[in-house]
Amino acid sequence: MKALTLRWYKLRQSAWLKPRNSVIAIPYLWLLLFFLVPFVIVLKISFAEAQIAIPPYTDLVTFANDQLSINLNLGNFVWLFNDDLYLSAYLSSIRIALVSTLICLLLGYPMALAISRAPASSRNVLLLLVILPSWTSFLIRIYAWIGILKPNGYINNALMGMGIIDQPIVMLHTDFAVYVGIVYAYLPFMILPLYANMMKLDHSLVEASSDLGASPITTLFKVIIPLTKAGIIAGCMLVFIPAVGEFVIPELLGGPETLMIGKILWEEFFNNRDWPVASAVAIIMLALLILPIMWFDRYQNKQMEEQS
């Protein structure tokens, strides 16, 4: 019994069973299960060859005639770089995501600033109004925009009823509708980090700027925006990254000429059943998204070092 107690005591003293390390291990375990393992599987498939079978790709490692063979097929990646369709899809996705992020920032920044300066009694209500649409299904919310943007939808009927236009404006199944859908869906992801950052803003600096004679515009650009740079970067990352790989919004609101990498992934996986090419598309898309994530992480670390 004494030996068992002693062993248990030594086990508790080991590094992994210390409370601090156990808490840190949970997010690492989460990343391992839901990011690293799926990533390795997709990476493995990207080096395989398509075949008509279940699963629809060849094995990377084969053992036959007492010989172990590793077959790495780089043709999928070469195919992507030689086909203009994929390059156009990547560029179009980045363009749509960048423009959508910029529109979200232009709309979200004044909204977050207004909420942070609102009386404390109404601040929670305003935040609830921002979050409330997210409580309903994402798919239903995007479907609702079809009824608003279609030729006989609410916008065209209102404009024709007021005599502003004679013919319905084509809005649905265009890039404009895609921008509207992405901005509508991801605007809360821009507002919330901006609001959190603005609540930490030292308002005495804003008052000092006004006392020294700076106009509100000068105070905004010389004091408020530099001090909320971390919130701007966080909001832009939260909007840009999911917008690049968006599939539902361009599929429902976009037209046949709306080219985004999420649609290409869907077509390769489910229509063409070319899993290796689809996996290669996903790997390159992930590589493109890692760059801004690494930059944001570096910026955060630098800011923490300056604060400490």
**Neighbour count for residue 78 (Cβ, 10 Å):** 11
Q: Which helix (H) or strand (E) holds 91?
A: helix 84-117
State mean pLDDT over 208-221: 89
Q: Using an 8 Å Cβ cutoff, are 149 and 175 in contact?
A: no
Pairwise CA distance, residues 48 & 34, whole Å: 22
pLDDT digits (tens, 9 = 90+) for 130-142: 999 888 899 999 9
Range in 3-12, 68-77, 82-91 the model is least confident about: 3-12
Q: Which residues contact 283 (CB under 8 A, 6 or more apart)?
A: 42, 43, 46
Pairwise CA distance, residues 55 & 278, whole Å: 14
Q: Provide the residue ranges of all domains of the chain, joining segments of one domain with +.
A: 1-70, 83-273
Answer yes or no: is pLDDT of 71 > 90.
Answer: no
pLDDT digits (tens, 9 = 90+) for 284-298: 988 888 887 887 777
Q: How far is CA 293 from the centre of its chain?
A: 11
pLDDT for res 21: 75
With b for 16 or more beta-carbon neighbours within 10 A and e for fewer, the 29-40 pattern comes to eeeeeeeeeeee
pLDDT digits (tens, 9 = 90+) for 218-260: 999 999 999 999 899 999 999 999 999 899 999 999 888 888 8
DSSP class of 80: H
Handedness of CA 110, 113, 117, 118 (dihedral sign): positive
Answer yes or no: is pLDDT of 300 > 90.
Answer: no
CATH number of the 83-273 domain: 1.10.3720.10
pLDDT for res 68: 82
Pairwise CA distance, residues 105 & 52, whole Å: 47
